[in-house]
Chain A
Amino acid sequence: MTTSISVTVNGRDRTDQIDPRLLLVHYLRDVLDLTGTHVGCETSLCGACTVLVDGKAVKACTLLAAQADGCEITTIEGLAEGEELHPLQEAFWEEHGRQCGFCTPGMILAAHQLLSDDPDPGEAEIRHALEGNLCRCTGYHNIVRAVRRAAVAMAAAAE
Protein backbone atom coordinates (compact mmCIF):
# COMPACT_ATOMS: atom_id res chain seq x y z
CA MET A 1 0.00 0.00 0.00
CA THR A 2 1.01 3.60 -0.24
CA THR A 3 0.12 6.66 1.75
CA SER A 4 0.36 10.31 0.89
CA ILE A 5 2.43 12.82 2.80
CA SER A 6 2.81 16.54 2.48
CA VAL A 7 5.79 18.06 4.16
CA THR A 8 7.84 21.21 4.02
CA VAL A 9 11.51 20.37 3.82
CA ASN A 10 14.03 23.17 4.13
CA GLY A 11 11.29 25.59 3.16
CA ARG A 12 10.06 23.69 0.11
CA ASP A 13 6.68 22.00 0.00
CA ARG A 14 6.54 18.40 -1.10
CA THR A 15 3.79 15.88 -1.55
CA ASP A 16 4.67 12.26 -2.20
CA GLN A 17 3.06 8.86 -2.33
CA ILE A 18 5.16 6.58 -0.20
CA ASP A 19 5.29 3.09 1.21
CA PRO A 20 4.13 3.54 4.82
CA ARG A 21 7.05 1.53 6.08
CA LEU A 22 9.51 4.06 4.67
CA LEU A 23 11.45 5.75 7.44
CA LEU A 24 11.78 9.50 7.36
CA VAL A 25 15.54 9.21 6.94
CA HIS A 26 15.11 7.11 3.80
CA TYR A 27 12.48 9.50 2.48
CA LEU A 28 14.93 12.36 2.88
CA ARG A 29 17.88 10.48 1.44
CA ASP A 30 16.33 8.36 -1.28
CA VAL A 31 13.25 10.29 -2.36
CA LEU A 32 14.39 13.88 -1.83
CA ASP A 33 18.11 13.18 -2.41
CA LEU A 34 19.04 15.00 0.79
CA THR A 35 21.95 12.72 1.66
CA GLY A 36 23.41 14.99 4.31
CA THR A 37 21.27 13.13 6.82
CA HIS A 38 23.12 9.92 7.62
CA VAL A 39 22.31 6.47 8.93
CA GLY A 40 24.77 5.18 11.51
CA CYS A 41 22.93 2.54 13.49
CA GLU A 42 19.62 0.75 13.54
CA THR A 43 18.83 1.06 17.22
CA SER A 44 18.09 4.78 17.40
CA LEU A 45 21.16 5.53 19.47
CA CYS A 46 23.80 7.14 17.24
CA GLY A 47 21.91 10.27 16.22
CA ALA A 48 23.60 10.60 12.81
CA CYS A 49 20.14 10.94 11.29
CA THR A 50 19.04 13.84 13.52
CA VAL A 51 16.89 16.44 11.77
CA LEU A 52 14.54 19.12 13.04
CA VAL A 53 10.85 18.33 12.84
CA ASP A 54 8.79 21.38 13.68
CA GLY A 55 11.91 22.81 15.27
CA LYS A 56 12.63 19.86 17.51
CA ALA A 57 15.56 17.49 17.13
CA VAL A 58 14.33 14.08 16.10
CA LYS A 59 16.00 10.88 14.93
CA ALA A 60 14.82 10.52 11.36
CA CYS A 61 15.44 6.78 11.55
CA THR A 62 12.87 6.50 14.32
CA LEU A 63 10.03 8.18 12.56
CA LEU A 64 8.03 6.84 9.70
CA ALA A 65 7.93 9.33 6.89
CA ALA A 66 4.16 9.05 7.19
CA GLN A 67 4.34 10.38 10.74
CA ALA A 68 5.97 13.55 9.47
CA ASP A 69 2.93 14.38 7.34
CA GLY A 70 2.10 18.04 7.78
CA CYS A 71 5.42 18.84 9.45
CA GLU A 72 8.20 21.26 8.72
CA ILE A 73 11.54 19.54 8.44
CA THR A 74 14.98 21.08 8.49
CA THR A 75 17.98 19.05 7.44
CA ILE A 76 21.64 20.04 7.40
CA GLU A 77 21.18 21.19 3.80
CA GLY A 78 18.67 23.77 4.99
CA LEU A 79 20.72 25.36 7.72
CA ALA A 80 22.92 27.81 5.83
CA GLU A 81 21.37 30.90 4.29
CA GLY A 82 22.71 30.60 0.78
CA GLU A 83 26.47 30.87 1.07
CA GLU A 84 26.28 32.15 4.60
CA LEU A 85 26.92 29.39 7.08
CA HIS A 86 24.86 29.06 10.22
CA PRO A 87 26.86 30.08 13.33
CA LEU A 88 26.90 26.45 14.40
CA GLN A 89 28.45 25.43 11.10
CA GLU A 90 31.03 28.20 11.40
CA ALA A 91 31.80 27.15 14.95
CA PHE A 92 32.17 23.46 14.09
CA TRP A 93 34.59 24.51 11.39
CA GLU A 94 36.57 26.92 13.51
CA GLU A 95 36.84 24.62 16.53
CA HIS A 96 37.59 21.49 14.49
CA GLY A 97 34.41 19.93 15.83
CA ARG A 98 34.50 16.94 13.56
CA GLN A 99 36.99 14.75 11.75
CA CYS A 100 35.35 12.28 9.38
CA GLY A 101 32.20 14.41 9.31
CA PHE A 102 29.72 11.56 9.34
CA CYS A 103 28.10 12.43 12.67
CA THR A 104 28.35 16.15 12.01
CA PRO A 105 24.97 16.95 10.45
CA GLY A 106 23.11 15.22 13.26
CA MET A 107 25.38 16.73 15.86
CA ILE A 108 24.83 20.24 14.52
CA LEU A 109 21.06 19.82 14.47
CA ALA A 110 20.98 18.42 18.01
CA ALA A 111 23.07 21.40 19.08
CA HIS A 112 20.66 23.64 17.21
CA GLN A 113 17.84 22.59 19.45
CA LEU A 114 19.96 23.04 22.55
CA LEU A 115 20.74 26.62 21.63
CA SER A 116 17.09 27.30 20.86
CA ASP A 117 16.19 26.12 24.37
CA ASP A 118 19.21 27.43 26.23
CA PRO A 119 21.23 30.16 24.52
CA ASP A 120 23.98 30.06 27.14
CA PRO A 121 24.74 26.44 28.00
CA GLY A 122 27.82 25.36 29.95
CA GLU A 123 29.91 22.29 29.21
CA ALA A 124 27.69 19.98 31.27
CA GLU A 125 24.53 21.17 29.53
CA ILE A 126 26.13 20.80 26.13
CA ARG A 127 27.30 17.28 26.84
CA HIS A 128 23.88 16.38 28.19
CA ALA A 129 22.14 17.74 25.12
CA LEU A 130 24.37 15.72 22.80
CA GLU A 131 23.92 12.38 24.53
CA GLY A 132 21.86 11.13 21.64
CA ASN A 133 24.64 11.71 19.12
CA LEU A 134 27.69 9.48 18.97
CA CYS A 135 31.00 10.68 17.62
CA ARG A 136 33.91 8.27 17.39
CA CYS A 137 36.53 10.74 16.10
CA THR A 138 36.68 13.75 18.36
CA GLY A 139 36.11 12.43 21.86
CA TYR A 140 33.52 15.28 21.87
CA HIS A 141 36.13 17.73 23.17
CA ASN A 142 36.04 20.05 20.19
CA ILE A 143 32.33 19.53 19.62
CA VAL A 144 31.64 20.93 23.07
CA ARG A 145 33.87 23.89 22.30
CA ALA A 146 32.15 24.42 18.97
CA VAL A 147 28.70 24.55 20.53
CA ARG A 148 29.99 26.95 23.15
CA ARG A 149 31.50 29.17 20.45
CA ALA A 150 28.27 29.13 18.48
CA ALA A 151 26.32 30.14 21.58
CA VAL A 152 28.58 33.11 22.11
CA ALA A 153 28.41 34.09 18.44
CA MET A 154 24.65 33.83 18.33
CA ALA A 155 24.28 35.85 21.51
CA ALA A 156 26.55 38.53 20.07
CA ALA A 157 24.58 38.58 16.82
CA ALA A 158 21.32 38.89 18.71
CA GLU A 159 22.48 41.98 20.57
Chain B
Amino acid sequence: MLPSAFDYVAPSSLEEAIEALGADPDARILAGGQSLIPLLKLRLARPGRLVDLRKVGGLRYLREEDGGVAIGAMTPHAEVAASPLLAGEARALAGAAAAVGDVQVRNRGTFGGSLAHADPSADIPAAVLALGATLVARGPDGEREIPAEDFFLAPWTTALRPDEILTGARIPVREGSAGAYAYLRQKASGFALVGVAAVLEMDGSTCRAARLAVTGAGNRPLRLREAEEALAGIDPTDGDAVREACRGAGDAIESPQDDLHASADYRRSMTEVIAARAVSRAASS
Protein backbone atom coordinates (compact mmCIF):
# COMPACT_ATOMS: atom_id res chain seq x y z
CA MET B 1 0.00 0.00 0.00
CA LEU B 2 3.06 2.23 0.19
CA PRO B 3 4.71 2.64 -3.21
CA SER B 4 8.39 3.41 -3.45
CA ALA B 5 9.24 7.01 -4.18
CA PHE B 6 8.92 8.40 -7.70
CA ASP B 7 8.83 11.70 -9.50
CA TYR B 8 5.42 12.66 -10.67
CA VAL B 9 4.53 14.83 -13.63
CA ALA B 10 1.16 15.54 -15.17
CA PRO B 11 1.91 17.32 -18.45
CA SER B 12 -0.88 19.04 -20.32
CA SER B 13 0.07 18.07 -23.85
CA LEU B 14 1.03 14.89 -25.59
CA GLU B 15 4.31 16.45 -26.73
CA GLU B 16 5.31 17.27 -23.18
CA ALA B 17 4.27 13.80 -22.07
CA ILE B 18 6.43 12.20 -24.74
CA GLU B 19 9.31 14.38 -23.73
CA ALA B 20 8.86 13.55 -20.05
CA LEU B 21 8.69 9.88 -20.88
CA GLY B 22 11.84 10.00 -22.98
CA ALA B 23 13.77 11.92 -20.37
CA ASP B 24 13.88 9.09 -17.83
CA PRO B 25 14.51 5.48 -18.79
CA ASP B 26 12.62 4.39 -15.67
CA ALA B 27 9.57 6.51 -16.48
CA ARG B 28 6.18 4.94 -16.93
CA ILE B 29 2.93 6.22 -18.28
CA LEU B 30 0.05 6.46 -15.82
CA ALA B 31 -3.36 6.25 -17.49
CA GLY B 32 -6.22 4.95 -15.34
CA GLY B 33 -3.76 3.17 -13.11
CA GLN B 34 -5.87 0.07 -12.55
CA SER B 35 -3.01 -2.22 -13.53
CA LEU B 36 -0.06 -0.07 -12.60
CA ILE B 37 -1.11 1.14 -9.16
CA PRO B 38 -1.62 -2.38 -7.78
CA LEU B 39 1.97 -3.09 -8.89
CA LEU B 40 3.19 0.11 -7.26
CA LYS B 41 1.48 -0.78 -4.01
CA LEU B 42 3.26 -4.11 -3.85
CA ARG B 43 6.47 -2.46 -5.06
CA LEU B 44 6.51 -4.91 -7.95
CA ALA B 45 6.91 -1.84 -10.15
CA ARG B 46 9.33 0.89 -9.10
CA PRO B 47 9.25 3.56 -11.76
CA GLY B 48 11.58 6.48 -11.32
CA ARG B 49 8.95 8.76 -12.77
CA LEU B 50 5.26 8.60 -13.47
CA VAL B 51 3.93 10.56 -16.41
CA ASP B 52 0.25 11.01 -15.69
CA LEU B 53 -1.85 11.55 -18.82
CA ARG B 54 -4.87 12.94 -17.00
CA LYS B 55 -4.33 16.50 -18.12
CA VAL B 56 -3.51 15.60 -21.72
CA GLY B 57 -6.56 16.53 -23.73
CA GLY B 58 -7.96 14.70 -26.69
CA LEU B 59 -7.35 11.14 -25.58
CA ARG B 60 -10.80 10.34 -24.28
CA TYR B 61 -13.22 9.84 -27.13
CA LEU B 62 -15.25 7.21 -28.89
CA ARG B 63 -16.49 8.34 -32.30
CA GLU B 64 -17.37 7.12 -35.75
CA GLU B 65 -14.56 7.48 -38.21
CA ASP B 66 -14.09 6.16 -41.74
CA GLY B 67 -16.65 3.40 -41.48
CA GLY B 68 -15.38 2.33 -38.12
CA VAL B 69 -14.95 3.62 -34.63
CA ALA B 70 -12.01 5.49 -33.21
CA ILE B 71 -11.35 5.13 -29.51
CA GLY B 72 -9.03 7.32 -27.48
CA ALA B 73 -6.54 5.61 -25.22
CA MET B 74 -7.87 7.32 -22.09
CA THR B 75 -11.45 6.19 -22.64
CA PRO B 76 -12.55 4.19 -19.59
CA HIS B 77 -13.76 0.62 -20.05
CA ALA B 78 -17.17 1.59 -18.73
CA GLU B 79 -17.66 3.98 -21.64
CA VAL B 80 -16.43 1.42 -24.15
CA ALA B 81 -18.75 -1.20 -22.69
CA ALA B 82 -21.76 1.09 -22.92
CA SER B 83 -21.13 2.72 -26.28
CA PRO B 84 -23.92 2.33 -28.84
CA LEU B 85 -21.34 2.94 -31.57
CA LEU B 86 -19.81 -0.44 -30.94
CA ALA B 87 -22.29 -2.39 -33.03
CA GLY B 88 -21.91 -5.47 -35.20
CA GLU B 89 -18.49 -7.01 -34.90
CA ALA B 90 -17.39 -4.32 -32.47
CA ARG B 91 -19.70 -5.92 -29.88
CA ALA B 92 -16.71 -8.13 -29.29
CA LEU B 93 -14.90 -5.11 -27.88
CA ALA B 94 -17.88 -3.85 -25.90
CA GLY B 95 -18.24 -7.33 -24.44
CA ALA B 96 -14.58 -7.50 -23.53
CA ALA B 97 -14.75 -4.07 -21.91
CA ALA B 98 -17.76 -5.16 -19.88
CA ALA B 99 -15.81 -8.21 -18.71
CA VAL B 100 -12.91 -6.21 -17.29
CA GLY B 101 -12.58 -6.35 -13.49
CA ASP B 102 -15.52 -4.80 -11.74
CA VAL B 103 -17.50 -1.57 -11.89
CA GLN B 104 -14.86 0.43 -10.06
CA VAL B 105 -12.08 -0.83 -12.29
CA ARG B 106 -14.11 -0.19 -15.42
CA ASN B 107 -14.75 3.37 -14.28
CA ARG B 108 -11.06 4.15 -14.00
CA GLY B 109 -9.28 1.60 -16.16
CA THR B 110 -8.70 2.72 -19.70
CA PHE B 111 -8.83 1.16 -23.12
CA GLY B 112 -5.29 2.23 -23.97
CA GLY B 113 -3.91 1.35 -20.58
CA SER B 114 -5.09 -2.22 -20.86
CA LEU B 115 -3.56 -2.57 -24.34
CA ALA B 116 -0.23 -1.06 -23.38
CA HIS B 117 -0.03 -3.12 -20.19
CA ALA B 118 -0.59 -6.27 -22.27
CA ASP B 119 -1.44 -8.60 -19.44
CA PRO B 120 -1.66 -12.06 -21.05
CA SER B 121 -5.01 -12.60 -19.35
CA ALA B 122 -6.58 -9.22 -20.11
CA ASP B 123 -9.81 -9.05 -22.05
CA ILE B 124 -9.34 -6.01 -24.30
CA PRO B 125 -6.31 -7.31 -26.23
CA ALA B 126 -8.25 -10.34 -27.48
CA ALA B 127 -10.98 -8.08 -28.83
CA VAL B 128 -8.71 -5.68 -30.70
CA LEU B 129 -6.83 -8.63 -32.13
CA ALA B 130 -9.98 -10.37 -33.36
CA LEU B 131 -11.25 -7.09 -34.77
CA GLY B 132 -8.02 -6.44 -36.63
CA ALA B 133 -7.84 -3.01 -35.04
CA THR B 134 -5.19 -0.49 -35.91
CA LEU B 135 -3.40 0.95 -32.90
CA VAL B 136 -2.02 4.44 -33.01
CA ALA B 137 1.09 5.48 -31.12
CA ARG B 138 2.85 8.81 -30.86
CA GLY B 139 6.56 9.25 -30.24
CA PRO B 140 9.15 11.95 -30.64
CA ASP B 141 9.13 11.31 -34.38
CA GLY B 142 5.40 11.59 -34.74
CA GLU B 143 2.52 9.19 -35.16
CA ARG B 144 2.76 5.54 -36.10
CA GLU B 145 0.14 2.94 -36.84
CA ILE B 146 0.58 -0.58 -35.52
CA PRO B 147 -1.73 -3.39 -36.58
CA ALA B 148 -3.08 -5.25 -33.54
CA GLU B 149 -1.57 -8.37 -35.09
CA ASP B 150 1.89 -6.93 -34.55
CA PHE B 151 1.31 -5.25 -31.21
CA PHE B 152 1.41 -8.00 -28.57
CA LEU B 153 4.87 -9.51 -28.52
CA ALA B 154 5.08 -11.37 -25.24
CA PRO B 155 3.57 -11.19 -21.78
CA TRP B 156 3.46 -7.53 -20.72
CA THR B 157 5.44 -6.65 -23.81
CA THR B 158 4.19 -4.67 -26.78
CA ALA B 159 5.58 -3.13 -29.92
CA LEU B 160 5.51 0.30 -28.29
CA ARG B 161 8.92 1.92 -28.10
CA PRO B 162 10.05 3.18 -24.70
CA ASP B 163 9.33 6.78 -25.67
CA GLU B 164 6.04 6.12 -27.42
CA ILE B 165 2.57 6.63 -26.05
CA LEU B 166 -0.44 4.71 -27.27
CA THR B 167 -3.02 7.34 -28.18
CA GLY B 168 -5.88 5.25 -29.47
CA ALA B 169 -7.14 2.70 -31.95
CA ARG B 170 -9.36 2.43 -34.97
CA ILE B 171 -11.86 -0.39 -34.88
CA PRO B 172 -13.54 -1.56 -38.09
CA VAL B 173 -17.29 -1.94 -37.97
CA ARG B 174 -18.32 -3.59 -41.20
CA GLU B 175 -21.88 -3.91 -42.45
CA GLY B 176 -23.31 -7.30 -41.72
CA SER B 177 -20.71 -8.27 -39.21
CA ALA B 178 -21.27 -9.66 -35.75
CA GLY B 179 -19.11 -10.04 -32.72
CA ALA B 180 -19.08 -11.21 -29.14
CA TYR B 181 -16.76 -11.93 -26.26
CA ALA B 182 -17.12 -14.97 -24.02
CA TYR B 183 -14.94 -15.97 -21.13
CA LEU B 184 -14.37 -18.16 -18.15
CA ARG B 185 -12.99 -16.26 -15.29
CA GLN B 186 -10.21 -16.96 -12.88
CA LYS B 187 -12.34 -16.90 -9.76
CA ALA B 188 -10.01 -14.90 -7.55
CA SER B 189 -8.62 -12.15 -9.74
CA GLY B 190 -11.54 -11.96 -12.14
CA PHE B 191 -9.16 -12.03 -15.09
CA ALA B 192 -9.94 -14.32 -18.00
CA LEU B 193 -8.93 -17.91 -17.46
CA VAL B 194 -9.85 -18.27 -21.09
CA GLY B 195 -11.52 -15.47 -23.02
CA VAL B 196 -12.36 -15.52 -26.69
CA ALA B 197 -13.39 -12.62 -28.88
CA ALA B 198 -15.25 -13.71 -31.98
CA VAL B 199 -15.86 -11.60 -35.05
CA LEU B 200 -18.01 -12.89 -37.87
CA GLU B 201 -18.48 -11.45 -41.34
CA MET B 202 -21.85 -12.62 -42.43
CA ASP B 203 -23.30 -13.32 -45.80
CA GLY B 204 -26.96 -13.79 -45.06
CA SER B 205 -27.07 -16.64 -42.59
CA THR B 206 -23.65 -17.91 -43.58
CA CYS B 207 -20.40 -16.96 -41.97
CA ARG B 208 -18.21 -15.67 -44.79
CA ALA B 209 -15.15 -15.20 -42.61
CA ALA B 210 -14.44 -15.41 -38.90
CA ARG B 211 -11.71 -14.08 -36.72
CA LEU B 212 -11.17 -15.44 -33.23
CA ALA B 213 -8.67 -14.36 -30.65
CA VAL B 214 -8.08 -15.96 -27.29
CA THR B 215 -6.69 -14.43 -24.11
CA GLY B 216 -5.76 -16.05 -20.83
CA ALA B 217 -4.81 -19.33 -22.38
CA GLY B 218 -1.45 -18.51 -23.94
CA ASN B 219 1.26 -16.11 -22.93
CA ARG B 220 -0.20 -13.41 -25.20
CA PRO B 221 -3.43 -12.97 -27.14
CA LEU B 222 -3.54 -15.29 -30.13
CA ARG B 223 -5.66 -15.84 -33.20
CA LEU B 224 -7.34 -19.23 -33.54
CA ARG B 225 -6.78 -19.62 -37.24
CA GLU B 226 -7.81 -23.22 -37.75
CA ALA B 227 -11.13 -22.61 -36.12
CA GLU B 228 -11.54 -19.43 -38.14
CA GLU B 229 -11.11 -21.38 -41.35
CA ALA B 230 -13.46 -24.10 -40.23
CA LEU B 231 -16.13 -21.53 -39.40
CA ALA B 232 -16.09 -20.05 -42.89
CA GLY B 233 -19.11 -21.22 -44.82
CA ILE B 234 -21.15 -22.54 -41.91
CA ASP B 235 -24.33 -21.25 -40.33
CA PRO B 236 -23.05 -19.90 -36.99
CA THR B 237 -26.47 -20.28 -35.38
CA ASP B 238 -26.06 -24.04 -35.74
CA GLY B 239 -24.56 -24.89 -32.37
CA ASP B 240 -23.34 -28.33 -33.36
CA ALA B 241 -21.63 -27.01 -36.46
CA VAL B 242 -19.97 -24.27 -34.44
CA ARG B 243 -18.72 -26.70 -31.84
CA GLU B 244 -17.40 -28.95 -34.56
CA ALA B 245 -15.62 -26.04 -36.23
CA CYS B 246 -14.04 -25.00 -32.93
CA ARG B 247 -12.92 -28.50 -32.04
CA GLY B 248 -9.21 -28.47 -31.39
CA ALA B 249 -9.09 -24.67 -31.43
CA GLY B 250 -6.86 -24.75 -28.36
CA ASP B 251 -4.17 -26.59 -30.28
CA ALA B 252 -3.22 -23.21 -31.70
CA ILE B 253 -1.80 -22.27 -28.32
CA GLU B 254 1.86 -23.15 -28.27
CA SER B 255 2.67 -22.61 -24.63
CA PRO B 256 -0.50 -22.49 -22.60
CA GLN B 257 -0.51 -20.95 -19.16
CA ASP B 258 -0.38 -23.67 -16.54
CA ASP B 259 -0.95 -22.66 -12.94
CA LEU B 260 -2.95 -23.45 -9.88
CA HIS B 261 -6.08 -22.01 -11.44
CA ALA B 262 -6.04 -24.26 -14.47
CA SER B 263 -3.75 -26.72 -16.17
CA ALA B 264 -2.55 -26.26 -19.73
CA ASP B 265 -4.89 -29.10 -20.75
CA TYR B 266 -7.88 -27.41 -19.28
CA ARG B 267 -7.05 -24.09 -20.85
CA ARG B 268 -6.63 -25.73 -24.25
CA SER B 269 -9.87 -27.56 -23.92
CA MET B 270 -11.72 -24.50 -22.67
CA THR B 271 -10.42 -22.49 -25.57
CA GLU B 272 -12.50 -24.71 -27.81
CA VAL B 273 -15.56 -24.47 -25.57
CA ILE B 274 -15.37 -20.72 -25.09
CA ALA B 275 -14.60 -20.08 -28.73
CA ALA B 276 -17.78 -21.91 -29.67
CA ARG B 277 -19.73 -19.92 -27.11
CA ALA B 278 -18.36 -16.63 -28.38
CA VAL B 279 -19.28 -17.55 -31.95
CA SER B 280 -22.75 -18.67 -30.98
CA ARG B 281 -23.28 -15.53 -28.96
CA ALA B 282 -22.11 -13.39 -31.87
CA ALA B 283 -24.40 -15.25 -34.24
CA SER B 284 -27.41 -14.77 -32.02
CA SER B 285 -26.78 -11.10 -31.37
A→B interface (CB under 8 Å): 1, 3, 19-21, 23, 26, 39, 42-45, 47, 50, 53, 56-59, 61-64, 66-67, 69, 110, 113-114, 129, 131-133
For residue B140, CB closer than 8 A to chain A, the reply is no
Give Cα A92–Cα B30 distance, bound, in whole angstroms: 36
- Give A113 to B103 CA distance when docked, in angstroms: 9
Q: Which residues in B have their C-beta under 8 angstroms from that of A19?
A: 5
B108: chain A residues within 8 A (beta carbon): 56, 58-59, 62-63
A66 / chain B contacts, CB cutoff of 8 Å: 8, 10, 52
Q: Is the CB of A42 within 8 A of B104?
A: no
A-B contact pairs, 11 of them (CB 8 A): A19-B5, A20-B7, A21-B5, A21-B6, A21-B40, A44-B34, A57-B104, A58-B108, A66-B52, A67-B30, A132-B103
Shortest distance between the CB of A49 and any CB in chain B (Å): 9
Q: How far is the CA of A42 from the CA of B5 in the complex (A)?
A: 18
* Residue numbers in A under 8 Å from B13 (CB-CB): none
Known pairs A20-B7, A63-B33, A114-B103 / 10 extra A-B pairs, C-beta < 8 Å: A1-B8, A21-B4, A21-B8, A42-B38, A47-B104, A57-B104, A57-B107, A59-B108, A62-B37, A69-B10
Residues of chain B having any CB pair with chain A under 8 Å: 1-8, 10, 30, 33-34, 37-38, 40-42, 50, 52, 54, 78, 101-105, 107-108, 188-190
Whether B1 pairs with A131 at a CB distance below 8 angstroms is no
The A contact surface, by secondary structure, is mixed
Beta-carbon contact of B101 and A42 below 8 Å? no
Give the chain B neighbours of A132 by CB distance below 8 A.
101-105
Nearest residue, chain B, Cβ from A132:
B102
Q: Which 9 A-B pairs have the closest CB atoms?
A: A132-B102, A20-B8, A56-B107, A21-B3, A131-B102, A59-B104, A132-B104, A62-B37, A44-B38
Q: B114 to nearest A CB, angstroms?
A: 14
Residue numbers in B under 8 Å from A3 (CB-CB): 8, 10
Select which of B33, B38, B42 is within 8 A of A64 by beta carbon: B33
Give A142 to B216 CA distance when docked, in angstroms.
Answer: 34
Query: Which residues in A have their C-beta under 8 angstroms from that of B104?
Result: 47, 50, 57-59, 62, 110, 132
Bound form: Cα–Cα A56–B108 in Å: 9
Picked from B33, B42, B105, B190, the residue with its CB within 8 Å of the CB of A42 is B42
Task: Pick from A66, A67, A133 the residue with the most CB of B within 10 Å.
Answer: A67
